[in-house]
Structure 1
Amino acid sequence: MAKAVEPVLTGVDVSKAELVIARSDSSGVETISNSVGPCKRWLKSLPPGSKIALEAIGIYHRQLAKLAHEAGFELYLLDGYKLNHYRSGVGTRAKTDASDARLILRYLTKEMDSLKPWIPAHDAFYRVQGLMRRRASLVHTRVALSQSLQDIPELKQTAKQLDAHIRRVELLIVQRLKQAMADVGWWLDAKRCKAIEGIGDLTGIALANTFHRGPFRTSDAFIAFLGMDVRVRDSGTQTGRRKLTKKGDPELRRLLYNAAMAARKTQAWKSLYEAYIAQGLKPTQALVKLARKLARIAFALMQNQTTYQPKTP
């Protein structure tokens, strides 16, 4: 009777050009091209039930992640921040592709019980997220150019025309965002979010897009995915400084912060913001807390498919 092949654990270090792989059944590492053919051939070589872990690196991990999921393997995407601190914690001095692959394998082996298998997002999620990031880059470029050229009188007219042209491109991207949301039926959720005082089109789109990346069981999970949950560091009688974890998409956090800045001026949220200040919070802390409140309300509206009821005076 043939002996059953045991599943293996694998750690994969991802780059644009190649994948460096460490396996639990081998002391060495192997390197393959980060392209469809080699990835499929490597996945076919894995025994059924094997588990794969890799660090999320921009867009370069997506191809392998999608192929592994389609092949039926359990996949874990590791957070780069945690992995970096794990490297320091275990005393790894070197940082090479091979050592990173082994580190990811070690992390998977030791921490697997606390990890959640990766679930692929809808293609529309990445499309909307990509458009949001491109718009953010345009805004950053436009502001930088405006500040750089403002003290050159002979370029004033040209700078003004350039600014107007970039703004037109930004508007085109917003139109594409709305269409992309409508195509997959997410625009209604974006409108639910937009009904909240302070939240505009872009923030509503970003919140709805993130919601559909889920599933999120609770609003706490949603807030944690946004990176707006608080990291607590207390020891004995010492109370450490509270900081946001800042995981997830920084552009969405920026939009939510701007939404809070707009909301604090409205009749609906002005008193709450002032209450936060009265509690001893600094303005930035109060705005972050208000932004988190707006995000929780948005989550509840989308989760329950209800319509926002504005606060009455």
Structure 2
Amino acid sequence: MTHPTLFVGIDVAKTKFDVALLNAEGKYRSKVFPNTPVGHQQFLEWLTRHDAQEAHLCMETTGVYGRDLARFLAQQQILISVVNPAQIHAFGKTELTRAKMDKADARLIARYCRMHRPAPWVPPAEEIATLQALVQRLEDLLALQTMENNRLEAATGPARESVEAVLQFVHQQIEMLRLQIEIHIDKHPDLKNQQELLSSIPGIGDNTAATLLAFLSPLERFHSAKQVVAYAGLNPRIRQSGQWAGKTPIAKAGNALLRKSLYLPAVVAKRHNPIIASFCDRLLARGKRPMQVVVAAMRKLLHLAFGVLKSGKPFNPKLGVA
């Protein structure tokens, strides 16, 4: 498994996943499997039939759709890497790839794996996997609550009563999930300690801390705060050619839920966190737009979060980071 000669690209969708086995001669074998436990087992048997148990497998981070498949393969001692889709997209540009089909995407991922040999994916600990599921479910319910609140504005008569009933039920489920998250963290001393470290940063409350713990763990995979920022998709995307320089938006090629969870805390931190407040004042004095300043505050919050978790010491405004 140290020097594999076979590479498998996996393109995951909601109901199926396409695979492409790339051999040493540059030829492919392609197959489609249902994205179910049965399909995962069929894929394992397919790998065995083609003597590819020691191949290097690679897939994109596709949220919930690929999580079970990656965990299943890791449990079978299969070498599997899970990479940022932006990396595959950038690699495709270097090849001037025009085709955008699941089969072609799987082959592209296989070629990326052969060239770059990405690091193996390590499944999260059981308590982290549970926390991720709870946080993701809470986010789903909050999104549903927002949609139902929007419908309530236009609903009348029996339709309004139905929306109100749904909202009441959703509210109960949200409160129950928040309690479950709190209980789950309290049951694990390491998580509880890390939550307290994160909550020591003005602007980060228990809910945001839970999201950070769910999606930054294990912290050892990040060697710097810049890597954490890139993982959240908050790194700037430079657009420059010669003397021309366009706007610099954020990359948005990372964990969208992590990025979303930092917006309101950043707004709060602009006013109540001394380090971030002075940082934002300097940016405004330089003529930065308000939204640019908020995004910069989000990045700064991630730097501070990485610092307290890495050091094991609470936030200290005199040091900027523990």
Single out whichever of 11-20 and 192-201 deviates more from structure 2: 11-20
Tell me the amino acid that sits aligned with residue 11 of structure 1: G
1:134 and 2:137 are equivalent in the alignment: yes
Aligned to 1:9: 7
Check the 8 A contact 2:47/2:53 in 1, yes or no: no
3-state SS of the aligned residue for 1:60? Answer: helix
Aligned to 2:316: 309
Distance across 2 between alignment mates of 1:108 and 1:235: 30
1:262 and 2:263 are equivalent in the alignment: no
What CA deviation, in whole Å up to 9, does each residue of 1:177-221 have, x standing for no partner?
Answer: 122323343122112111211111111111222332332222122
1:274 and 2:273 are equivalent in the alignment: no
Aligned to 1:195: 200
Check the 8 A contact 1:19/1:32 in 2, yes or no: yes
Aligned to 1:53: 58
Distance across 2 between alignment mates of 1:192 and 1:300: 10
Distance across 2 between alignment mates of 1:267 and 1:53: 41
Check the 8 A contact 1:178/1:187 in 2, yes or no: no
Deviation at 1:300, TM superposition (A): 0.9
Deviation at 1:163, TM superposition (A): 3.4
Check the 8 A contact 2:151/2:163 in 1, yes or no: no
Aligned to 1:20: 19
What CA deviation, in whole Å up to 9, does each residue of 1:136-183 have, x standing for no partner?
Answer: 222222222223222456466765554344222211111111223233
Aligned to 1:298: 305
Check the 8 A contact 2:5/2:23 in 1, yes or no: no
Single out whichever of 135-144 and 300-309 deviates more from structure 2: 135-144
3-state SS of the aligned residue for 2:262? Answer: helix
Tell me the amino acid that sits aligned with residue 298 of structure 2: A
Aligned to 1:147: 150
Check the 8 A contact 2:203/2:273 in 1, yes or no: no
TM-score relative to the length of structure 1: 0.84
3-state SS of the aligned residue for 1:118? Answer: coil
Deviation at 1:79, TM superposition (A): 2.8
Check the 8 A contact 1:40/1:67 in 2, yes or no: no
Distance across 2 between alignment mates of 1:289 and 1:257: 10
Single out whichever of 148-157 and 161-170 deviates more from structure 2: 148-157
What CA deviation, in whole Å up to 9, does each residue of 1:275-294 have, x standing for no partner?
Answer: 22112111111111112112
3-state SS of the aligned residue for 2:64? Answer: coil
1:249 and 2:249 are equivalent in the alignment: no
Check the 8 A contact 1:9/1:52 in 2, yes or no: yes
Deviation at 1:263, TM superposition (A): 1.7
Pick closer, same or farther for the CA change 1:194–1:104 going to 2, 3 Å.
same
Single out whichever of 276-285 and 119-128 deviates more from structure 2: 119-128
Q: Give the gaps of 5 or more residues in structure 1.
A: none
3-state SS of the aligned residue for 1:301? Answer: helix
Distance across 2 between alignment mates of 1:158 and 1:70: 45
Aligned to 2:127: 124
Deviation at 1:303, TM superposition (A): 0.9
TM-score relative to the length of structure 2: 0.82
Check the 8 A contact 1:13/1:101 in 2, yes or no: yes
Tell me the amino acid that sits aligned with residue 30 of structure 2: V
Aligned to 1:174: 178
Distance across 2 between alignment mates of 1:231 and 1:6: 34
Check the 8 A contact 2:202/2:269 in 1, yes or no: yes
Among all aligned residue pairs of Structure 1 and Structure 2, give the percentage whose two residues are the same amino acid.
23
Tell me the amino acid that sits aligned with residue 245 of structure 1: A
1:30 and 2:70 are equivalent in the alignment: no
Q: Give aligned pairs, total.
A: 306
Deviation at 1:58, TM superposition (A): 3.2
3-state SS of the aligned residue for 1:52? Answer: strand
Single out whichever of 281-290 and 20-29 deviates more from structure 2: 20-29
Check the 8 A contact 2:135/2:214 in 1, yes or no: no
Distance across 2 between alignment mates of 1:235 and 1:189: 43
Distance across 2 between alignment mates of 1:102 and 1:212: 30
